[in-house]
Structure 1
Amino acid sequence: MSPDGARLYVANATSDTVSVIDTSADTVTATVDLSPYPGAPMGSMPNAVAVSPDGKTLYVANGGNNDVAVVDTESLVIRGLIPTAWFPSALLLSRDGRLLYAGNMKGLGAGPNPRGPNPEQPLPTQQYVANMARGTLSVIDAPDSATLARYTAQVVKNNGFDETRKVLVRTPGEARPHAVPRRAGDPSLIRHVIYIIKENRTYDQVLGDLRQGDGDPGLVLFGRDVTPNHHALAETFVLLDNCYADAEVSADGHGWTTAAVATDYVQKMWPANYSGRNRLYDFAGGSSAPAPLAGYLWEQAARAGITYRVYGEFSAFGSKPPNVTPAPFANGLAGHLSATYAGYDLSITDQARVDAWQAEFDELVRRGAVPALMIVWLPSDHTAATRPGFPTPKAMVADNDLALGRIVEAVSRSPGDLRDRG
């Protein structure tokens, strides 16, 4: 609220904007775009605001960019950006406006986790990422113009905005197709994508025993004896030993995996669910609140006219083969989600899932109707730890590894004209 009460500033985390409301008329009079550059995908996540005592400056916490935007309230132009710790989510100014307090929801992150959960040997001394992260408070002098310019340059460097922006710029003339396009929108040689989503295993837990990579053999839980197919794929193609995940747990991981973002709602709500405080798990189509504005991969495929089929991901909890249905708010999956492929149910093996996928795939190949995009969820490597009635963690990860290998083999042995008929 402005000091005179005439203006109300509302942060819209899902649309990366701030609405300016005339309180006397209860109408939106202006909208401030918090995107870091033109054409940027959603992800700034403005989620808190503060107004200077003189009403001339609006501060906006961009949780997704780890910064605070400094906005001139007269022109509504962003003057610059202030770097913060991870995910600023609360702002307060001192009475004289000289100090800005920024509460950072995720602070400095969890850091290394050498005592992470071992599903085969649960111990009370083990660390869990959700318990390790600590919020922080940044106390910042309100910057002058020179300092703000320096801060802004630091934010751009921290986030790689310059490099990211280059990727969005099309090259002049007709671009040559590449397997991985150099610029967004350039043509690709790839005609079909089978996107396999697995669960929460770290690089070191599975591939830390590979000498070629930057791993720690001491952290290996499911090495070559358990995951021969993972190892064979890594050694045959690419290791990705320095490819890092944005997610902390499955709840936000499925957002990052299927939409390249976990929304402000997801970021703030999953801890309440994971801590057992009676918070509904609605992060995978259980409600409309977690959904990103641009939608999920399958929604974007539909808009682009790309054929797609989804196996397990965002299926309704409790629905079982042969009647698996989409989650209530999983838009775009009706008619595109396999009814015979199980979603998250650890009592069902990944072998059963691949049996269902294989039957569909073979029929689609026979009909020349393989979709351009397949999204396949193999969740058994989540494991059920040492719960009675379930296989051991190693058995479940081995099941997952075999399922992955079966999919790769099936595709590798499919007819050579598959790419021309899908």
Structure 2
Amino acid sequence: MNKVFLATAILTSTICGVFAQKQVSILQVPGVNEYCNINTNGASVLPSGRFITPAGKTLRITHDPFGLSISPDGKKAVTLHNGVITIIDLATMDAVRVPSYDKTIKSPLSNGSFLGVAFSPDSKTLYLSGGDNGAVIIYDAERFKKIDSLSLNGKVGNKDYDDSFTSDLLLNAENNELLVLDRGNFRLVRIDLTTKKITASIDAGRQPFGLALSPDKKTAFVANVGMYAYPLIKGATPQNADSIMISRHPYGDNTKESREGTEIEGRKIPGVGDPLSPEAMSVFTIDLATNKVVDKFKTGHQIGQMLEDAEVTGGASPNSIAVGSSYAYVTNATNDNITVIDYKNHKLLGDIPIRVNSRIDKFRGLLPFGISLSKDEKTLYVALLGFNAVAVIDIATRTTKGLIPTGWGTSRVKLSADEKEMYITSCRGYGAGPNGGSGFVAPPQGTYIGDIQLGTFQKVAMPDGARLAAYTQQVINNTFVSKSVATDTKNPLPVLPGASPTPIKYIVYITKENRTYDEVFGQLKNARGDSTLARFGINCEYTLPDALRVKFPGLKVSPNHIKAAQQFAFSDNYYCDSDASIHGHHWMMGVIPNEWVEANSNVSKTAKLFSNAPGRRFPGSTGSMDPEDYAETGGLWEALERKHVDFYNFGEANETAHVRETWEDTNTGAAHLVMVPMQRALFTRTSHNYAGFNTNIPDQFRVEQFKSEFTKMWITGKKKMPSLITMQVPNDHGADLRPKDGYPYRQSYMADNDLAVGRILDFLSHTKYWKNMLVIITEDDPQGGVDHVDAHRSILMLAGPYVKKGYVSHTHANFGSILKTIYNVLGVPYVNQYDVTASLLQDFFTDKPDYTPYTFDKSDTRVFDTKKAMARYSKNTNWRKIKKSVEMDDEDREREDHYKQKGKKTSGTIVN
């Protein structure tokens, strides 16, 4: 017994265990010391630091292939993207893109497309989701010609449907009919292909997303990913909409107010109801003989359920379905599991957990999406959107037999008729690679991050046991490595949450918008930059067109970014996991974008707020997290709340899909008409006097809001500063030129943002909290810029007394690394697999503090004049007062904009 005890005592602890030992094993990404790189003949390094080594034969195709169909003759595959299809010869792996880049082949999809694609029995005709136009497009795949368009709008029985939005579809060849989901009107539509008429309209749940048919063709299955049917403010009309809006989200999610309604700013606010409603995140089964809904199954883990010590806060997000003779299998993205439905006996048979490795199985992050069932109904093949793999599941034992390596963001998997091959699509393939710099040649699809980043189609021979075992190990090796480290480190960043004491007690987490590394830091020495792309640097007039160089000698766009980076520390190997703001604000707050966020953010869509189609009031996804997006047990906010760690938010998460953003909306930067809940943990900890994303409002205005509230609450007030502050200063995003408002050039927005960053650092470093503070500054995404290493490479700066001075980190970093830093310092357990496996950024820190405060530099008034920008608010900047600041206390130590600038010497050069 003593020997057993002794042996146990010297073993390394588990990730979130008790740290009595001197050594623990931590996980990090395999690319911890690598820069992003695409190598189609070897291992590619992703922005996350994970590797990509797709199995089989791989073809690079247009980004975000969310629809996939294999022709009945087994000769072709077609992938569906937004407004694009790719027709692939499976024997040769040659492909035709529709539309072609040379425009000789036109697209039949005028309003985008969403999820649905099917072949006719003769393998010659395609049925395509028309997405926003509410139609099914019939297309000749051999002659590349549109044949017809079948609208979902019109009268069915006694009800007239309008504003339809075509989602997934399938062909029931035996009846010569199409089954089509309409996410606008929350229904399943049946279309007779002989008469081309709608024969039935059957109410489904909210945001119907996935569609399947039983082998006997008698039962249809609809997976609903929507949580609520979002209402308007009571009494809202097109005429009074502007005057009736409220300045913020009306309630926290799953509260009495959100269920029953409330009153905000004198407005009557309807509730959204119960998140456990049968229509919310469910699977409907429909009897096609009677056109009646037979069952409404709530799959996966349910909101309010306790998993170990955490409450389930997000719905299961059931999204895709595979159906056998007796059982249906549903992928629950949020739960990393598959629900088994005995649909003939109308009952749930439990869940199959997808397990990939004991080191990380307790954390979420696989995001099961597409699913296929073998003919013998013994094996499931599941596309893991978050894990870059296909999981092979043995149904009888409910175990994961193995993993098959894929591209980045696996979306769909299909089997050949003889099951000797599988076909796999991935959203982002090998990643983006560079989109500018010396020697870069723009590809035909363009240079915007969302375009340059191609998806992949794989053809993989069905692996035997030995091959599957090798594939499985490859996937794990691509995802993380283990390292033994000491817990009794003097480094201020503990190796695991709470593993060692740290002098850092306060963290300020600042997010900016849309910039890449090179365009701001490309000039910095001892770092991997391209100065020719540094259009937002200092003395950067050389990046201007020849005619403007004389006008702007010594141009300084971002003096404070450069100064702070050189005074403190920055990374030249940091990447946003995101392509755009929608993804970015999820990632950076600890929520991995699920299949709904990914697919919905990559489809053309039109909001119709006063439509009778409930799905049209909420067609968008934004930088805020909507209830459809929530992770199983939440993200950063919920993790902090569970551990009773105080936090407060300035500007994050106050932006729904259709908010108004005018210069007068200064309380929060937004005005809301559609009522969408905010995360419950965040709702009571968010400032209602700070402007979030709204480029009509100067970042200087935000600084004044922040300083005023900070001073009132935590300097002159009785409360102590919370352990974490999150804040947004977004104007480096850029917007249209507004000379009268002080923004005569594109660089004006960056200069505004730069001054704000400098002023915030100046203010914080002169407070009594500075001696125990860490400031983290980053971007939510890199979509506005160019970079010679990778289009995802972006800005990461750390500042504070315990940050090394004048330091450049070359450690591969991403949002997971930032979150790991926050969790480790504040002693909060990790939430998802990206936190657990992220790089540990100890190289940024020193145990020898330097308390020297930061002093901001004023902006170059030729580019940005604060007096002009603040004039409309009847405010002027008193630099004398600002420079005095607070006395140090000794107490307690986004594509269109990208292409507008195409063809200039550098994208975004100063133009009149």
User: Identity of aligned pairs, percent?
Assistant: 32
Which of 666, 678, 696 aligns to 1:330? It is 678
Which of 736, 741, 753 aligns to 1:400? It is 753
Number of residue-to-residue matches in the alignment: 405
CA distance 1:135–1:388, change in 2 (3 Å)? farther
Which of 322, 331, 344 aligns to 1:11? It is 331
Cα distance in 2 for partners of 1:153, 1:403 equals 47
Which of 252, 256, 264 aligns to 2:583? It is 252
Aligned 8 A contact 1:109 1:134 in 2 = yes
2:346 corresponds to: 26
Which amino acid is 2:628 matched to?
A
Aligned 8 A contact 2:523 2:531 in 1 = yes
CA distance 1:372–1:286, change in 2 (3 Å)? closer
CA distance 1:19–1:177, change in 2 (3 Å)? farther
Q: Deviations over 1:150-206 (max 9, x none)?
A: 11111111112x43xx69xx98xx866742110234245121110001111001110
CA distance 1:398–1:41, change in 2 (3 Å)? farther
CA distance 1:323–1:82, change in 2 (3 Å)? closer
Which of 530, 533, 537 aligns to 1:219? It is 533
1:180 corresponds to: 493
More helix by share: 1
Q: Deviations over 1:264-304 (max 9, x none)?
A: 221111112xx455583333446311222232322322222
Aligned 8 A contact 2:392 2:400 in 1 = yes
Which of 684, 688, 695 aligns to 1:346? It is 695
CA distance 1:56–1:126, change in 2 (3 Å)? closer
Cα distance in 2 for partners of 1:387, 1:27 equals 61
Q: Deviations over 1:293-321 (max 9, x none)?
A: 23232232222211111001111444833
Bigger drift between 258-267 and 395-404 goes to 258-267
Cα distance in 2 for partners of 1:208, 1:262 equals 30
Which amino acid is 1:271 matched to?
N
1:135 corresponds to: 455
Aligned pairs for 1:280-319 within 5 A: 280-285=619-624, 287-316=626-655, 317-318=659-660
CA distance 1:126–1:132, change in 2 (3 Å)? closer
Instruction: Please tell me whether residue 49 in structure 1 is matched to residue 371 in structure 2.
Output: yes
Aligned 8 A contact 2:382 2:390 in 1 = yes
Q: TM-score, normalised by structure 1?
A: 0.87
1:118 corresponds to: none
Task: Classify the secondary structure of the residue corresponding to 1:180.
Answer: coil
Q: Which has the higher contact order (CA 8 A, sep 6+)?
A: 2
Tell me the CA shift for residue 337 of structure 1.
1.3
Cα distance in 2 for partners of 1:83, 1:250 equals 28
Cα distance in 2 for partners of 1:417, 1:149 equals 52
CA distance 1:235–1:2, change in 2 (3 Å)? closer
Task: Classify the secondary structure of the residue corresponding to 1:259.
Answer: coil
CA distance 1:3–1:204, change in 2 (3 Å)? closer
Task: Classify the secondary structure of the residue corresponding to 2:682.
Answer: coil
Which amino acid is 2:715 matched to?
V
Aligned pairs for 1:16-415 within 5 A: 16-38=336-358, 39=360, 40-114=362-436, 127-160=447-480, 162-163=481-482, 178-189=491-502, 190-224=504-538, 225-272=556-603, 275=604, 280-285=619-624, 287-316=626-655, 317-318=659-660, 320-322=665-667, 328-331=676-679, 332-363=681-712, 364-366=714-716, 367-386=718-737, 391=743, 392-415=745-768
Tell me the CA shift for residue 233 of structure 1.
2.1
Tell me the CA shift for residue 114 of structure 1.
1.2
Q: Deviations over 1:82-128 (max 9, x none)?
A: 0011212111111111111112222233332118xxxxxxxx99631
Q: Which runs of 5+ in 1 are unaligned?
A: 116-123
More strand by share: 2
Cα distance in 1 for partners of 2:724, 2:390 equals 38
CA distance 1:185–1:11, change in 2 (3 Å)? farther
Cα distance in 2 for partners of 1:255, 1:416 equals 28
Which amino acid is 1:196 matched to?
I
Cα distance in 2 for partners of 1:328, 1:305 equals 26
Aligned 8 A contact 2:392 2:402 in 1 = yes
CA distance 1:349–1:282, change in 2 (3 Å)? same
Could you say which structure has the larger radius of gyration? 2
Cα distance in 1 for partners of 2:531, 2:365 equals 35
CA distance 1:27–1:409, change in 2 (3 Å)? same
Bigger drift between 332-341 and 397-406 goes to 332-341
Q: Which runs of 5+ in 2 are unaligned?
A: 1-320, 438-443, 539-555, 608-617, 773-890, 894-912
Cα distance in 1 for partners of 2:445, 2:396 equals 54
Cα distance in 1 for partners of 2:451, 2:677 equals 30
Which amino acid is 1:140 matched to?
V
Cα distance in 1 for partners of 2:327, 2:468 equals 25
Aligned 8 A contact 2:699 2:756 in 1 = yes
CA distance 1:103–1:412, change in 2 (3 Å)? same
Which amino acid is 1:403 matched to?
A
Which amino acid is 1:184 matched to?
P
Cα distance in 1 for partners of 2:344, 2:505 equals 56
1:121 corresponds to: none
Q: TM-score, normalised by structure 2?
A: 0.42
Which amino acid is 1:98 matched to?
K
2:74 corresponds to: none
Task: Classify the secondary structure of the residue corresponding to 1:352.
Answer: helix
CA distance 1:323–1:83, change in 2 (3 Å)? closer
Q: Deviations over 1:228-255 (max 9, x none)?
A: 1111222222221011111001110111
Aligned 8 A contact 2:605 2:620 in 1 = no
Cα distance in 2 for partners of 1:360, 1:399 equals 21
Which amino acid is 1:93 matched to?
L
Which amino acid is 2:563 matched to?
A
Aligned 8 A contact 2:591 2:634 in 1 = no
Tell me the CA shift for residue 385 of structure 1.
4.4
CA distance 1:394–1:291, change in 2 (3 Å)? same
Cα distance in 2 for partners of 1:180, 1:155 equals 29
Cα distance in 1 for partners of 2:355, 2:708 equals 45
Q: Deviations over 1:126-145 (max 9, x none)?
A: 63122333332111111011
2:156 corresponds to: none
Cα distance in 1 for partners of 2:446, 2:425 equals 28
Which amino acid is 1:24 matched to?
K
Which amino acid is 1:71 matched to?
I
